[in-house]
Amino acid sequence: MLDLAFRPDRAAGEPLRRQLEDYLRALVETGRLQAGERLPATRELAASLGLGRNTVAQAYEALCDDGLLSAHVGQGTFVAPRPRRAPAGELPAGHAFAWEGLLAARTRRFALPESARMPDPVRFDFRGGGVDASTAPQVELRRAFSRALARHGTALAEYRDPLGWPALREAIARALVSRGIAARADEVMITSGAQQALDLVARCLVDPGDVVAIEQPGYFAAGVAIAASGAHRVGVDVDEQGLRTQDLARLLRSRRVKLVYVTPAVQCPSGVLMSDDRREELLALADEHQTPVVEDDYDSELRLGSPPVPALKTRDSAGQVIYVGTFSKAIQPGLRIGYVVAPAPLLRRIALTRVACDLGTSVIGQAALAELLAAGDLERHVRRARRLYAARLALLDDTLRAELPDGASWSLPAGGNCLWLRLPAQADPDEVWRGMQSAGIAAARGDLFFVDGRGRDHLMLGVAGVDEDGIREGVTKLGRIVKRAVARRAA
C-alpha cells in the first residue's frame, strides 16, 4: 500500500474530505503519484488514517470528477493518464514577437498607476470596491441558478436580445420604484456590471476629443472607460455638498461638454451625498446646455443614513439622465451584472454597439438573478450587509480618532463601505505610501481619483476585505507611519 503522509487536521475549518482531496491532488499534480498507480481501497485508507470510509470515497470522487483519478469497477481507483501534450518543440516562442511596438497608442498610454499598486503580501486589505464575501447570498444564488436552468431550459441556450433577459428587465424596473424611479422594462438594459454600462454609454455618445466632465475626486474606473472612448476628461471639484455646480456652470459656458458623470448617492471616493440644491442646479444646467448626465448609483443600497434619498433620475423630466445601477454591491461583483436605464431610442443604439462588444450578458446569469429577485430574499440580505459595513465603518472611525495624529481628517460616508481620509498636511504623503507598502497595508492612494495629479495626501480605506481585528491593527500601524512622517517633517 502507498505510504501516505497525510495527517487530518480536525481543528482546521476545512472539512476532512477536502483536506484529503487537496493532499492527494498535490501528490498527483507534482508527479509524486504517477499515472496508472493504484490507490488504496477506501476501506483500507479510511482505517489507516482514522477517517470515515465515506470521507475517503468523497475525496476520491471529487478527484475523479476533476480527471486526476479514474475508477474502474471491480479493479479500484487509479491515477488517471496524463493528458497528451504536444512535443515541446511545438511550443510557441511567444515572446519573440515585438508586441510592445504594435500596441495602439491608447493601450500604450494605459498602465496601472502607482496609486493603485498593492503591497505584496497584503496584510491589511483596505482596498475599496468589493464586498465582504461572507455577506453574499450563497444558498439563495445556488437555488436561483438551479431554478433558472430547470425552468427555462433551452431558452437560456441561445443568443438573446442584447438588451437583456425580459424577466430581469421587468424585475429591475419594478425594483427601481424603491429609488423613486418609474421606468418601463424597455428602458432597462442589462450589462456585464456597471463598468460595461459606462463603457457602452461612452462608446455610444463620445467621439475622440470630446470633453466629458467628471467629478474630482471621482471613480477612477469610470474615468478609464471614458478615456478609452478617446474623450478628454475634465475634473469638476467636489465639496461637502457634492459636485460644485458653479464650477460645472463655468465649464459648460466655456466648452462643449458631451457628458457629465456623477455619483450623487455616495460620491466616490469622498462618500458625500449630493445636496438637494446641487441636484436642482445640476439638472438645470444639463437642461440649459442639453448635456446628458450619467448617474452612477452604485452604492445606494448600502446607505448608512435613512431614509434613502431618491435618485437624481426621479427629477429627470426631460429624460436626459442616464441611470447606471449594479448588483455588485447589493449581491456580489462576481455575478458581473449591472444595468443602465435610459430612454428606449438611446438604448436601441447602445444595443447595436453591443454587437461589437460581446453580444450580451450571460443569459443563464441573468435568468438566475431574475429568480433571485423574484424569491425576494434580497432586501434581507442587503440589510445584513448594511449592518456589517456600518459597524466596521464606525470602528474605523473610532480607531482613526484614537491612532491618527492631529491634522488628519475624514467624515463618515453616506453609504457603502469606504472612507476618504486626508493625511495631515505635515506628513510627506510619499513617505506614508512607502511605509504602507512595507507594512502590507493595501489601500488606494488619492491621486488615483484625480485627473490633475492632486490627491496624493488622501487615501481611500475600504472595510469590505478587513475584519474588526484587521481594522484595529492596520489603523494602529497606519497611525504610527503617519506620526513618524509628521515627526520627520518637524525635525
Dist CA 248 CA 295 (whole Å): 15
Near a copy of itself in 209-248, by CB under 8 A:
210, 221, 224-225, 227-230
Dist CA 60 CA 58 (whole Å): 5
C-alpha cell at 163: 438588451
Binding of a copy of itself by 206 (CB under 8 A):
yes
Binding of a copy of itself by 430 (CB under 8 A):
no
H helix and E strand count, the chain:
16, 15
Near a copy of itself in 23-42, by CB under 8 A:
none
Dist CA 100 CA 107 (whole Å): 10
Q: Which CB, 25 or 484, lies closer to a copy of itself?
A: 25
Binding of a copy of itself by 11 (CB under 8 A):
no
Binding of a copy of itself by 401 (CB under 8 A):
no
- Closest approach of Cβ 258 to a copy of itself, in Å? 7
Binding of a copy of itself by 295 (CB under 8 A):
no
Query: Which residues lie below 8 Å from residue 289, measured CB to CB, with a gap of 6+?
Result: 252, 257
Near a copy of itself in 150-189, by CB under 8 A:
150-151, 153-160, 174, 177, 180-183, 187
**Interface residue with a copy of itself, options 290, 306, 406, 491 (CB under 8 A):** 290
Whether omega for the bond prior to residue 217 falls within 30 degrees of 0, making it cis, is: yes
Near a copy of itself in 448-487, by CB under 8 A:
none
Near a copy of itself in 301-330, by CB under 8 A:
313-314, 316-321
- Closest approach of Cβ 13 to a copy of itself, in Å? 12
- Dihedrals phi, psi of 338, to nearest 5 degrees: -135, -165
Dist CA 368 CA 146 (whole Å): 8
- Site for a copy of itself (CB under 8 A): how many residues? 120
Nearest to 141 by CA among 303, 409, 370, 403: 370
Pairing of strands 257-262, 211-216: parallel
Contact range with a copy of itself by CB under 8 A, out of 4-12, 136-144, 405-413, 472-480? 136-144
Near a copy of itself in 251-270, by CB under 8 A:
258
- Dihedrals phi, psi of 166, to nearest 5 degrees: -55, -45
Q: Which CB, 361 or 399, lies closer to a copy of itself?
A: 361
Whether omega for the bond prior to residue 81 falls within 30 degrees of 0, making it cis, is: no
Q: Which CB, 110 or 487, lies closer to a copy of itself?
A: 110
Contact range with a copy of itself by CB under 8 A, out of 202-210, 296-304, 381-389, 421-429? 202-210
Tell me if 271 sits within 8 A of 278, measured CB to CB: no
Nearest to 277 by CA among 313, 243, 252, 316: 243
C-alpha cell at 412: 463618515
The contact mask relative to a copy of itself for 345-384 (x = CB under 8 A, - = no) is xx--x--xx-xxxxxxxxxxx--x--x--xxx--------
Q: Which CB, 147 or 483, lies closer to a copy of itself?
A: 147
Binding of a copy of itself by 90 (CB under 8 A):
yes
